[in-house]
Chain A
């Protein structure tokens, strides 16, 4: 049962990821990204990381993909851009991707990874422990993330203001 769910979810994820890469229309690509994220969230649920699945759908599907769609439509790209095939770039990309996959495949086949059954309860059943760790061991990173978000917000404001002034001066 678990195996069937894993195979179907990973097939959905990989197929929609390929669709993101191959789609000519950027809007279709964003929709495929949404589907891919849904598959990943399902895999997170399989791994008992319910909270992270929720956060993934909330942040990625709710905010990031919507922002992508908004920008695509703002820049008026739904007509589709010509997708030109460049042999050298395609070849180098395929070779690098194949090297990555075969390297990890070798690592897995040689048994360097722990191949036993999952241990512990997963993050879903111990959300209290997760929060405890976030606010004790990882308190400094949480603070740094807060600053990072603040800086990103200020950066976005500065970037958009500067172009606005440039357009006004024309």
Chain B
């Protein structure tokens, strides 16, 4: 017996929800970034499952693009975090509140 598409989609939704929870709850910029990556990976899992269960290749191709974008995003984001740390000497979101009204 093989797991159904529903199981995969539910698993991916749960992973996405956990990542979202981390983004909302955590205050450390690097941990928030890791949770963002978690959300991206959850989306790729759903795409691969849909593509497998529908017999098409398009979802798998999109996963390839998502991985590329994630790599570029991590490089730029971590460079920004390092620049921010050099300027403000903190990575806690609470202390980075210059734009707060």
- Interface size range of chain B in the complex: 35 or more
The interface bits of chain A over 65-109 (1 if a CB of B lies within 8 angstroms of the residue's CB, else 0) are 001100110110100010110100110111011101100110111
**Total cross-chain contacts (CB, 8 A):** 233
* Contact of B68 with A120 in the complex, beta carbons under 8 Å: no
* CB within 8 Å of A: which B3-28 residues: 3-11, 13-22, 24-28
- Chain B min CB distance to A149 (Å): 6
A94 to B20, CA, bound (A): 9
CB-nearest residue of chain B relative to A97? B17
- Chain B min CB distance to A143 (Å): 12
A97 to B63, CA, bound (A): 23
A40 to B57, CA, bound (A): 19
- Chain A min CB distance to B25 (Å): 5
Q: List 21 A-B contacts (CB under 8 A).
A: A2-B2, A13-B11, A17-B18, A20-B34, A21-B25, A23-B31, A26-B30, A29-B31, A52-B60, A64-B71, A75-B85, A96-B24, A97-B18, A100-B13, A115-B5, A119-B53, A120-B54, A133-B61, A155-B79, A159-B79, A160-B83
